[in-house]
């Protein structure tokens, strides 16, 4: 029997860095939001103990992959005699600030908890998976949440109405540590307050979000990557956009759109202009799950033009 789960990407509606910690990490206040761009994980029981991981793209040594690390951590702590084969289909761009690796790791733990019938509560999975990466815990439940600490302390909030977005990946891999390193040379600002939840979440719209969107890592990401800077400059004036921001540590740029058809048109246009891989997506209310939120899967700009994407 194969269990299939879909791991969503995220964007950050708000991200402020409030200081540097003794452990080298940065203290954050961030609003994370799951969106309808998914990796897919297939799980099968294996009779011998251990994890076997395969992927549609070259992952390098599996032991370094977050899925493998999360799966093996769960096995070692809670099911040493169990085994599983996991196949990962990657669609979420890597090094993009979209949390793909973290979401895959969380979804691997959620999947194996079910496959091996361990019945661990969500809180236990959140705690365990945060050992693998700072923003993994969010993806156990997904939706929208206020996250603090390294990003691993999660306060889940009621969903906001569906918002349409375009996510543009400018074909630039931006390592998160490089962006934090740059920011740590510019920590002389007054931290901003998060106003995202001052409005009832259910009242948010494409028109209200520009008032609360902010990302402290945006300027650092733009300083670190000339490639991102170039695409940022080329996308300043696009039709149907109410707000534009770098997602997390980048390099993906998110565009809040008035409606679905404007999102599809802009994703297509970005790909025609050769700016990178562009996806029309919407906000979703869950983390790793069997559904891609009832068929609302992100649409690649080039797929709409009838081309096949890789």
Binding site for ligand C5P (CB under 6 A): 25-26, 28, 133-134, 150-151, 176-177, 180
Catalytic residue among 39, 72, 104, 135: 135
Judged by beta carbon, residue 15 or residue 163, the one nearer ligand C5P is 15
Active site residue 135: yes
Decide whether 97 or 276 has the Cβ nearer to ligand C5P: 97
Single out the residue of 43, 32, 33, 34 nearest to residue 89, CA to CA.
Answer: 43
* Shortest CB 91 distance to ligand C5P, Å: 20
Please say which residue, 107 or 235, places its beta carbon nearer to ligand C5P. Answer: 107
Report CA-CA distances (Å) from 206 to 37, 98, 241.
19, 20, 9
Position of minimal CB gap to ligand C5P: 134
**Residue-wise burial string across 171-182, b where 16 or more C-beta atoms lie within 10 A, e elsewhere:** ebebebebbbeb
90 is known as an active-site residue: no
Distances (CA, A) of 164 to 134, 147, 180, 266: 27, 22, 29, 11
Beta bridge partners of 283: 35
Measure Cα distances from 85 to 55, 61, 70, 238 in Å: 11, 16, 13, 44
Report the half-sphere exposure of 195 (CA within 13 A, side-chain side). 9
Name the pairing type of β-strands 26-46 and 241-246. Answer: unpaired
Task: Please state the closest distance from residue 25 (CB atom) to ligand C5P, in A.
Answer: 4
- Cβ 60 to ligand C5P, closest distance in Å? 16
Closest approach of ligand C5P to the CB of residue 225, in Å: 16
Judged by beta carbon, residue 146 or residue 256, the one nearer ligand C5P is 146
Q: What residues are labeled active site?
A: 10, 135
């Amino acid at each position: 029997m194969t269990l299939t789960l879909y791991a969503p990407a995220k964007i950050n509606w708000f991200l402020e860095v409030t200081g540097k910690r003794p452990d080298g990490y940065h203290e954050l206040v961030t609003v994370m939001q799951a969106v309808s761009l998914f990796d897919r994980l297939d799980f099968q029981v294996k009779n011998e103990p251990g994890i076997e991981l395969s992927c549609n793209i070259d992952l390098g040594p599996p032991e370094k992959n977050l899925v493998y690390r999360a799966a093996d951590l769960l096995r070692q702590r809670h099911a040493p005699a169990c085994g599983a084969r996991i196949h990962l289909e990657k669609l979420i761009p890597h090094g993009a600030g979209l949390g793909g690796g973290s979401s895959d790791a969380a979804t691997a733990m959620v999947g194996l908890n079910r496959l091996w019938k361990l019945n661990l509560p969500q809180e236990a999975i959140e705690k365990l998976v945060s050992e693998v990466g700072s923003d993994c815990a969010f993806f156990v439940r997904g939706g929208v949440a206020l996250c603090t600490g390294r990003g691993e302390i999660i306060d889940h909030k009621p969903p906001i109405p569906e918002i349409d977005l375009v996510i543009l990946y400018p074909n630039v891999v931006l390592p998160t540590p490089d962006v934090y390193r740059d920011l740590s040379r510019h920590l002389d600002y007054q931290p901003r307050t998060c106003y995202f939840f001052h409005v009832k979440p259910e009242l948010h719209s494409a028109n209200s979000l520009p008032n609360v969107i902010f990302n402290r890592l945006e300027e650092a990401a733009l300083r670190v990557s000339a490639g991102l800077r170039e695409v940022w400059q080329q996308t300043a004036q696009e039709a149907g956009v109410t707000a534009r921001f770098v997602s997390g540590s980048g390099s993906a740029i998110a565009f809040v759109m008035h409606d679905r058809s404007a999102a599809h048109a802009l994703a297509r246009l970005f790909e025609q202009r050769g700016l990178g891989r562009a996806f029309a997506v919407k906000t979703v209310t869950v983390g790793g799950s069997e559904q891609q939120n009832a068929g609302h899967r992100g649409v690649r700009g080039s797929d709409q033009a009838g081309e096949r994407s890789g």
